[in-house]
Structure 1
Amino acid sequence: MLGEGIVLISVLRIVVDIALVWYVFYKLIMLLRGTKAIQLLKGIFVVLIFYFISYFLNLQTVQVMIEQVIVWGPLAIIILFQPELRRALEQIGRGSFFSRNRRSEEEIFNHTVDAIVKSCNYMAKRRIGALITIERETNMGDFVETGIPIGGQLTNQLLTNIFVPNTPLHDGAVIIKQNEIVAAACYLPLSESPFISKELGTRHRAAMGISEVSDALTIIVSEETGGISCTRNGELHRDINEDKLIEILRANLEPNFVKTPLLKGFGWKGNKK
């Protein structure tokens, strides 16, 4: 009996050990998802494959080169991905690395859609120009750094107030990540496409520009006409009503909240202008 108990404890210890390692690994993957670091992991995997191939084929020169990469690689990773590593350590320090949000994902998602729609409708009726970029899978960290950090929970009142004319933050783009306004007055790259209508201003060109370099969904409220437009994946859709805006937001943002399969396109069939 004593021997069986010792064996059982040993097995449980191994199971717990493996489970903890896999959980930490899973949390790290979720933390790095959508950042440049995830591409690094793919690169490391490719390097290891080449190393094993060179080992079995006895390609000594290739082996030496890859061994040097393996030796100096960790130092290069620390230097190149210092922001991501710092963010991970900060989350561990705050205790949020292992914690779960008490609010349901569905509730947060509905609140986000509702806040954006109400804010856009309010600004459109009063012809308040706005540029709202919503992060999806591609990390927007480089563009967040060009603006003013907000770090506030998304509400339609806060979002609207940012774009009130003649205020310090109204000029530029607001970047949203799930239910958080990350930054305001951000600079987005202007599209140089010759196919954009000459009647469109800087906001539309910036929205097209960010859609060409990321998968972000961007909403534009025209200061001249009060019309609402959306861009994503290099496509511009203009004159969107409230129902279409809700449909677009649900089709493109829901996967980021409830982890359903990624929906393609804007989620509706409309005329591109």
Structure 2
Amino acid sequence: MDFGDVAEILIIAVLLYYALVWMKTTRAWVLLKGLVVILIFLLLAYFFRMTTILWMAQNVLGFAVTALIVVLQPELRKALEELGKKNIISSVLPFDNNHRVDEGFSEKTINEITKACVEMGKVKTGALIVIEQKVSLRDYERTGIDVDGIVTSQLLINIFEHNTPLHDGAVIVQGNRVASATCYLPLSDNLGLSKELGTRHRAGVGISEVTDSLTVIVSEETGKISVAYEGKLERNLDAETLRDRMHKILNNTGEEHKNLRIWKGRSREKK
């Protein structure tokens, strides 16, 4: 094995690594897990010599690749755009001090969101707050207006106040900051949802079906608070239940970011 072979193996390994990292934050990760299940099924079919299934799989493969490209077209375009904008050297060197690490959710942020939802519920102000986790919501951010402000109850109340420019649509929260407002979300087509629910609730459930985000909804008709997560809707939550629900879902993400900041702090102390 010469130097060229070693270099080729390293390049392929790096490309595969970054491809998996990119897929981890997109819908492609879910599709990849589905493809792994199909691959295991085909291996079992090959092992037991199920010729009809193998023949069908062989003839469908060409169409499947094309369909996969069509389904992932938004993610592929976004990846190419980011590749063109990215500083290759800084992205390869993970210890760059100028590289910003998004903060996790603090106790204050959870309390501010809870306080805002309770206050808006009292006066029946409709609200739709989407909290980003591992899967990026950048495609949905682009449909709204950039805010980039620290999460406070007053900011959220002002955004959703009636007859204000930003009240229509969803707010997207990243870490401890409000990233965007007036964002458009996909509507759920789940027939199991109550017919009483309007567009706001269906949008909250819809975004939770395609991402791992947590969505908090305040009804404009009743003032009641609901939470959508993993395609399921919990309704009629009080302040304490809402706070506990956010703690339970967001706790792991917050701990991961906290450990990362501690590690980075120790690294600077050693220097």
Q: CA deviation at 1:240?
A: 0.3
Larger radius of gyration between Structure 1 and Structure 2: 1
TM-score (norm: length of structure 2): 0.62
Name the CA distance, whole Å, in 1 between partners of 2:48 and 2:190: 48
Instruction: Give CA deviations for 1:146-188 in whole Å, capped at 9, x if unaligned.
Output: x942354352365444213202331333233545635525355
Partner of 2:77: 86
Partner of 2:148: 153
2:12 equivalent among 4, 8, 21: 21
| Contact persistence 1:222–1:228 (CA under 8 A) | yes
User: Secondary structure at 1:102's aligned position in 2?
Assistant: coil
Partner of 1:234: 233
Partner of 2:131: 134
Name the CA distance, whole Å, in 1 between partners of 2:219 and 2:52: 60
Q: CA deviation at 1:134?
A: 1.9
Q: Relative contact order (C-alpha < 8 Å, sep 6+): which is higher?
A: 2
| Contact persistence 1:123–1:129 (CA under 8 A) | no
| Contact persistence 2:110–2:243 (CA under 8 A) | no
1:45 equivalent among 13, 24, 36: 36
Identity %: 31
| Contact persistence 1:191–1:208 (CA under 8 A) | no
Name the CA distance, whole Å, in 2 between partners of 1:103 and 1:167: 32
Q: CA deviation at 1:84?
A: 1.1
> How many residues align structurally?
241
Aligned-pair RMSD on alpha carbons? 4.5
Runs of 5+ consecutive residues of structure 1 not aligned to the other structure: 1-6, 261-273
TM-score (norm: length of structure 1): 0.62
Q: CA deviation at 1:253?
A: 1.9
Instruction: Give CA deviations for 1:193-235 in whole Å, capped at 9, x if unaligned.
Output: 6889x8xx85884587458846542224566897765454332
Q: CA deviation at 1:83?
A: 0.7
1:173 equivalent among 166, 170, 175: 170
Partner of 2:265: none
CA 1:76 to 1:140, structure 2 compared with 1: closer, same or farther past 3 Å?
Answer: same
Name the CA distance, whole Å, in 1 between partners of 2:218 and 2:54: 56
Name the CA distance, whole Å, in 2 between partners of 1:91 and 1:169: 28
Partner of 1:265: none
Name the CA distance, whole Å, in 2 between partners of 1:62 and 1:51: 8
Q: CA deviation at 1:132?
A: 0.9
Which residues of 2 match residues 88-127 of structure 1 at below 5 A?
A: 88-95=79-86, 98=91, 102-105=99-102, 108-110=103-105, 114-115=108-109, 117-118=111-112, 121=115, 124-125=118-119, 127=123
Bigger mean CA offset, 80-89 vs 19-28: 19-28
